[in-house]
């Protein structure tokens, strides 16, 4: 898929790689109001390369600086009218951060999608308990400015895995958190194979837990 082709013959087909890329678009992607173009941005160039591979993109990787911090970020831009309309149909939209809600993701590919969501805007944290030094704590967190979206993630994950998690309201966003027992169950489904598309530095933490 090239950056500025109209892609009239492009066919959308669910795969594990495609679902992962949709998870990344959901968190760190941007749909232009022009009805055609996309931008995906990350501080991790490895994640950009993985995103390109999952979607078969042939576009160049660019760089840009964030607002106040002036940190360097990598990004790719591309155009695809067919994919754009399809993403609108499953629930994505321009300026989605605070209004995104339910997405139409098949059960078969939900955990690939959720792994992309985690890599885009979430974290896995492990540390030793200060009160009980022999006890290790593990937390898996998903973030969104939309409460409705996190509630959907929570309900969908509960339906598939019978785990609950809990949602907290922070200053500018909401977080969905799973503690150790539920985290391990969830992570085993997100990383069902060592070769799945993922942010490798995050996978190193997961690998030490599973």
Q: Which CATH number belongs to the domain containing residue 182 in this structure?
A: 3.10.28.10
| Phi, psi dihedrals of residue 86, rounded to the nearest 5° | -65, -40
First to last CA, the chain: 36
Residues 146 and 179 in one domain: yes
Residue 106 in any domain: the answer is: no
pLDDT tens for 151-207 read 999 999 999 999 999 999 988 899 999 999 999 999 999 999 999 999 999 999 999
Domain's final residue, options 50, 70, 97: 97
Tell me what percent of the residues of the chain surpass a pLDDT of 90.
83
Domain assignment present for 9 = no
Q: Which range marks the domain in which residue 137 is found?
A: 116-207
Q: What total of structural domains would you count in the chain?
A: 2
**For helices 180-190 and 147-161, angle between their N-to-C axes, nearest 10 degrees:** 80
pLDDT-based confidence at 2, cuts 50/70/90?
very low
pLDDT digits (tens, 9 = 90+) for 47-72: 999 999 999 999 999 998 876 667 88
pLDDT of 129 strictly over 90: no
**Rounded to an integer, what distance in angstroms lies between the CA atom of residue 8 and that of residue 43?**
32
Asked whether residue 125 is assigned to any structural domain, the reply reads yes
**Rounded to an integer, what distance in angstroms lies between the CA atom of residue 60 and that of residue 109?**
28
Token pair 């009239």 is found at 8
> Is 134 found in the same domain as 197?
yes
In eight-state DSSP terms, residue 109 is G
Predicted pLDDT of residue 141? 98
Non-local CB neighbours of 154 within 8 Å, separated by 6+ positions: 164, 165, 167, 176
Domain-located, residue 109: no
Are residues 124 and 88 part of one domain? no
Per the prediction, the chain carries an average pLDDT of 93
91/127 same-domain check: no
3-state secondary structure of 154: helix
Predicted pLDDT at 147: 97
Residue 84 within any structural domain of the chain: yes
Q: pLDDT tens digit string along 12-25?
A: 999 999 999 999 99
| pLDDT of 7 higher than 70 | no
Q: Are residues 93 and 24 in the same domain?
A: yes
Coil, strand or helix: which one is 121? helix
Q: pTM, whole model, 2 decimals?
A: 0.92
67, 141: one domain: no
């Amino acid at each position: 898929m090239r950056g500025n082709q109209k892609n009239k013959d492009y066919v959308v087909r669910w795969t594990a790689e495609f679902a992962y890329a949709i998870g990344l678009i959901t968190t760190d992607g941007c749909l232009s109001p022009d009805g055609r173009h996309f931008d995906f941005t990350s501080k991790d160039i490895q994640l950009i390369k993985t995103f390109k591979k999952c979607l078969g993109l042939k576009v160049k990787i660019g760089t840009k600086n964030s607002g106040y911090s002036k940190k360097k970020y990598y990004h790719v831009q591309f155009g695809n009218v067919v994919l754009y309309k399809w993403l609108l149909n499953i629930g994505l939209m321009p300026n989605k951060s605070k209004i995104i809600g339910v997405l139409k993701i098949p059960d078969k590919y939900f955990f690939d999608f959720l792994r992309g969501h985690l890599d885009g805007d979430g974290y896995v944290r492990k540390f030793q308990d200060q009160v009980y030094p022999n006890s290790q704590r593990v937390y898996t967190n998903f973030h969104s400015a939309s409460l409705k979206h996190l509630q959907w993630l929570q309900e969908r994950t509960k339906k598939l895995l019978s785990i609950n998690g809990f949602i907290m309201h922070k200053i500018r966003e909401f977080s969905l958190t799973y503690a150790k027992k539920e985290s391990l169950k969830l992570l085993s489904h997100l990383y069902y194979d060592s070769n799945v598309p993922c942010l490798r530095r995050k996978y190193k933490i997961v690998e030490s837990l599973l």
